[in-house]
């Protein structure tokens, strides 16, 4: 199945260095893949992913992805109270 | 020698240097400016008339070696909102005033002869107030150069451009930063109040000051060490902000569906990729700018930057998320370099990035110009506004007034002040801050995260209203307290991860003054400041009916989450139950 994939800030730089497209790109993944499985496939450590947006909402990393989902990987470093009020800290720890 | 209050009267064109009243001793920054405004300014006064005052006050820790303590507060009654205003700025002014022993600079009344503008120069012993006809009609960088030529290069400078002279609602007061660029006492038409008092420029002597006195230097030093370490080792303040600046938020807020686009019609922008922090950082790397720049001495976060064009020529510094959002996502300019040129132009003439950007969005909605047309924006800002043409006066009146003039319904303001870069329908906690803060729509009113918020517990869905009022209240109390310390509100970021951060900050305040504040005392201070400001607004004639979101947000679902603003009045008003 297909998802749309984005990576931000340090994760984007890291993936770009490896030649992995990560700005609004379609990716094929297996059925039953969770966000964390997907992060593991990309070999990104916690240093590069604090939280995951799925379809515009920060979700737990063990959330299973579905056909057509939009996923964005967010590294540590979100300023303001937004790390709190978007649920980045809370969901990032789940 | 103890700190003093410097009081300037613009009608008499004289000054007094006074002892600090006992009840103001423990206050600084916003705590002091809001207390003085509430005590001395008639809430019903016309903000541009003789009875309004300007109160400049460095924070409690300004002038010390404490990291990130160089923020200055300005208090006024705002001509934009009709309520109290505290505007917070970096630059060199806070440190210099604190070292000189200026607890607050209070400016009263207006000159009887309004045929010229004045230059106020503050030294340790004297204040001079002299006409400066040669500076009238000049913009900020030219005024800054004239002051640097006349005084020591370190002199603190606060100036208004032609929009401030014309008392426009989008005008700021511009403040010299350590690299000779400008920062802004923004929001709320601060420049218009300075213009109404016929003051073109204020300078503060930087040659004869002494280091601030510390009651317990050893304790101060060790607390500062803990504090600085917390800032530098945190992924936000230590890595994210220095690498991408606040503009790292474009992609994040866009992904969350909360990036207001096309005058608040959408929660996503097609320009996000073109204007985001990652693109900006790539450009800086390729063109030889710098991703790090501190707005004040002692800043270890360095969230600001120097942004060059393709030829490597300077375009802008202090190129912040809210500015880039206002012109990129909300107005629709996809060319980051053009946005940078507009940013530098706005620094030069001294207008507020958020108020001006949102005003252009409303003006485009009303058919005065086209969305995306950055060249016309540049022309209006560089010609019509300085010359005071009818078009310049209209744009200069701010988003709320332009909405009325053009018959626009979609006018994103609270208390007549433009809503910044975070959509209240999709980020509801932020929306509660916009409607309840005494400042008018202001994201920084609920920016600081304090430890008590962590204890309130649990995930709060940004798209739903549950838990948001309490969250916003805690954020606003923390922000009011931090704004009184002279600290940049970004210092509170590590508090989410590092329990040593905020206690170290309180230890520094205690070591500076030889007192024993606790965390609870600081929270109480924040709560007291908010209540003082709210009481002023009520006396000024603002009511609960002013604590409301623009109506269109209640019936227009915001894509992509298709959410509306759904708080009842009772839910909003419960904010003040503390």
pLDDT tens for each residue of chain B, 578 residues long: 589 999 999 999 999 999 999 999 999 999 999 999 999 999 999 999 999 999 999 999 999 999 999 999 999 999 999 999 999 999 999 999 999 999 999 999 999 999 999 999 999 999 999 999 999 999 999 999 999 999 988 899 999 999 999 999 999 999 999 989 999 999 999 999 999 999 999 999 988 777 788 999 999 999 999 999 999 988 888 888 888 989 999 999 999 999 999 999 999 999 999 999 999 999 999 999 888 888 888 888 888 889 999 999 999 988 999 999 999 999 999 999 999 999 999 999 999 999 999 999 999 999 999 999 999 999 999 999 999 999 999 999 999 999 999 999 999 999 999 999 999 999 999 999 999 999 999 999 998 776 555 555 578 899 999 999 999 999 999 999 999 999 988 888 887 788 888 899 999 999 999 999 999 999 999 999 999 999 999 999 999 999 999 999 999 999 999 999 999 999 999 999 99
Binding-face residues of B in 496-525 toward A, CB within 8 A = 496
Q: Measured over all CA atoms, what is the biggest interatomic distance in chain A, rounded to whole angstroms?
A: 36
The structure tokens 């485009």 sit at: B364
B248 is a domain residue: no
Chain A residues with CB under 8 Å of B278 CB are: 8-9, 12-13
Chain B residues with CB under 8 Å of A93 CB are: none
pLDDT of residue B208: 75
Same domain, B445 and B410: no
Question: Phi/psi at B290 (nearest 5 deg)?
Answer: -145, 135
For residue B47, give the CATH number of its domain.
3.60.9.10
Q: How many CB atoms lie within 10 A of CB B429?
A: 26
Report DSSP letters for A57-74, one per residue.
Answer: EEE-TTPBP-TT-EEEEE
Do A83 and B493 count as a contact with CB atoms less than 8 A apart? Answer: yes
Report DSSP letters for B191-218, one per residue.
Answer: HHHHHHTTEEEEEE--SS--PPP-SSHH
Q: Does A35 touch chain B (CB under 8 A)?
A: no
pLDDT of residue B453: 53
From residue A9, alpha-carbon distances to B195, B244, B249, B252, B423 in Å are 42, 7, 10, 10, 22
pLDDT of residue B349: 98
For residue B556, give the CATH number of its domain.
1.10.599.10
Same domain, B474 and B362: no
Same domain, B289 and B410: yes
Same domain, B396 and B441: no
B189 is a domain residue: yes
pLDDT of residue B209: 72
CA distance B277 to chain A (A): 8
Q: β-strands B4-9, B102-108: how paired?
A: parallel
pLDDT of residue B451: 54
Same domain, B37 and B186: yes
CA distance A78 to chain B (A): 6
Residue of A80, A88, A89 to mutate, testing the B interface (most B Cβ within 10 Å of its Cβ)? A80
The structure tokens 């303590």 sit at: B69
Range of the domain at B197: 4-204
Encoding tokens for residue B511?
């070591």
Do B463 and A9 count as a contact with CB atoms less than 8 A apart? Answer: no
Same domain, B177 and B34: yes
Q: Which of B314, B316, B290, B318 is nearest to B304 (CA)?
A: B318
**Contact criterion met (CB below 8 Å) for A70 and A55:** yes
Same domain, B353 and B373: yes
Same domain, B389 and B448: no
Segment A12-31 mean pLDDT: 96
pLDDT of residue B495: 79
Q: Does A85 touch chain B (CB under 8 A)?
A: yes
Report DSSP letters for B92-109, one per residue.
Answer: SHHHHHHHHTEEEEEEE-
Same domain, B361 and B448: no
Same domain, B147 and B51: yes
pLDDT of residue B173: 98
B559 is a domain residue: yes
B451 is a domain residue: yes
Segment A9-32 mean pLDDT: 96
Chain B residues with CB under 8 Å of A10 CB are: 239-240, 243
B129 is a domain residue: yes
B267 is a domain residue: yes
Number of domains in chain B: 3
For residue A9, give the CATH number of its domain.
3.10.20.30
For residue B379, give the CATH number of its domain.
1.10.569.10
Cα gap B418→B439, rounded to integer Å? 11
Chain B residues with CB under 8 Å of A79 CB are: 236-237, 240-241, 246, 248-249, 303, 490, 493
Range of the domain at A27: 2-92
Question: Does residue B110 have a cis bond before it (omega within 30 degrees)?
Answer: no
Q: Does A68 touch chain B (CB under 8 A)?
A: no
Cα distance from N-terminal residue to C-terminal residue, chain A? 25
Do A83 and B278 count as a contact with CB atoms less than 8 A apart? Answer: no
Number of domains in chain A: 1
pLDDT of residue A68: 97
Cα gap B311→B305, rounded to integer Å? 17
Please identify, among B418, B443, B475, the residue that sits at the C-terminal boundary of a domain.
Answer: B418
Chain B residues with CB under 8 Å of A60 CB are: none
Do B278 and A53 count as a contact with CB atoms less than 8 A apart? Answer: no
pLDDT of residue B559: 98
């Amino acid at each position: 199945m297909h998802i749309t994939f984005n990576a931000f800030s340090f994760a984007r730089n890291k993936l770009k260095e490896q030649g992995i497209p990560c700005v609004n790109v379609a990716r094929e993944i297996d059925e039953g893949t969770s966000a964390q499985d997907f992060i593991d496939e990309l070999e990104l450590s916690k240093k590069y992913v604090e939280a995951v947006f799925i379809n515009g909402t920060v979700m737990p990393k063990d959330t299973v992805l579905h056909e057509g989902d939009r996923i964005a990987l967010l590294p540590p470093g979100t300023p303001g109270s937004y790390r709190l009020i978007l649920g980045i800290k809370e969901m990032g720890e789940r | 020698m103890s700190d003093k209050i410097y009081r300037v009267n613009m009608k008499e064109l004289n000054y007094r240097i006074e002892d600090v009243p006992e009840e103001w001793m423990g206050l600084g920054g916003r705590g002091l400016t809001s207390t003085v405004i509430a005590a001395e300014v008639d809430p019903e006064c016309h903000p541009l008339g003789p009875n309004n005052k300007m109160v400049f006050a460095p924070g409690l820790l300004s002038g010390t070696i404490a990291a990130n303590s160089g923020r200055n507060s300005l208090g006024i009654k705002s001509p934009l909102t009709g309520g109290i205003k505290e505007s917070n700025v970096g630059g060199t002014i806070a440190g210099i005033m604190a070292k000189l022993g200026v607890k607050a600079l209070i400016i009263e009344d207006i000159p009887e002869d309004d045929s010229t503008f004045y230059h106020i120069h503050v030294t340790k012993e004297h204040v001079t107030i002299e006409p400066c006809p040669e500076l009238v009609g000049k913009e900020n960088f030219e005024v800054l150069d004239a002051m640097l030529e006349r005084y020591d290069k370190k002199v603190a400078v606060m100036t208004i451009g032609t929009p401030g002279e014309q008392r426009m609602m989008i005008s700021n007061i511009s403040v010299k930063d350590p690299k000779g660029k400008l920062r802004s006492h923004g929001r709320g038409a601060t420049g218009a109040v300075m213009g109404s008092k016929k003051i073109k420029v204020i300078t503060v002597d930087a040659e004869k000051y002494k280091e601030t006195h510390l009651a317990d230097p050893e304790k101060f030093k060790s607390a500062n060490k803990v504090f600085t370490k917390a800032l530098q080792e945190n992924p936000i303040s230590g890595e994210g902000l220095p690498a991408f600046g606040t503009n790292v938020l474009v992609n994040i807020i866009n992904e969350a569906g909360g990036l207001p686009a096309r005058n608040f019609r959408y929660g996503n922008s097609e320009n996000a990729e073109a204007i985001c922090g990652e693109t900006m950082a790539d450009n800086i790397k390729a063109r030889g700018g710098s991703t790090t720049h501190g707005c004040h001495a002692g800043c270890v976060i360095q969230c600001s930057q120097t942004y060059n064009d393709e030829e490597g020529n300077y375009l802008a510094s202090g190129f912040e998320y809210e500015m880039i959002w206002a012109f990129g996502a909300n107005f629709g300019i996809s060319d980051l370099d053009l946005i940078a040129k507009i940013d530098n132009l706005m620094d030069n003439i001294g207008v507020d990035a958020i108020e001006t950007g949102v005003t252009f969005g409303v003006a485009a909605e009303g058919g005065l110009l086209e969305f995306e047309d950055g060249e016309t924006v540049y022309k209006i800002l560089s010609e019509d506004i300085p010359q005071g043409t009818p078009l310049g006066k209209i744009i200069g009146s701010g988003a709320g007034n332009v909405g009325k003039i053009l018959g626009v319904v979609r006018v994103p303001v609270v208390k007549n002040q433009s809503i910044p870069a975070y959509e209240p329908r999709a980020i509801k906690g932020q929306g509660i801050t916009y409607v309840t803060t005494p400042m008018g729509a202001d994201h920084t009113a609920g920016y600081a995260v304090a430890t008590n918020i962590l204890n309130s517990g649990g995930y709060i869905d940004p798209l739903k209203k549950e838990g948001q009022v309490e969250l916003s209240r805690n954020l606003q109390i923390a922000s009011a307290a931090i704004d009184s310390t002279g600290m940049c509100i970004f210092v509170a970021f590590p508090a989410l991860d590092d329990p040593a951060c905020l206690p170290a900050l309180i230890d520094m305040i205690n070591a500076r003054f030889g007192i024993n504040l606790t965390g609870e005392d600081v929270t109480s201070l924040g709560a007291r400041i908010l209540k003082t400001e709210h009481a002023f607004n009520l006396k000024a004639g603002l009511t609960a009916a002013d604590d409301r979101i623009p109506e269109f947000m209640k019936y227009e679902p915001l894509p992509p989450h298709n959410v509306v603003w759904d708080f009842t009045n009772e839910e909003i008003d419960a904010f003040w139950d503390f």
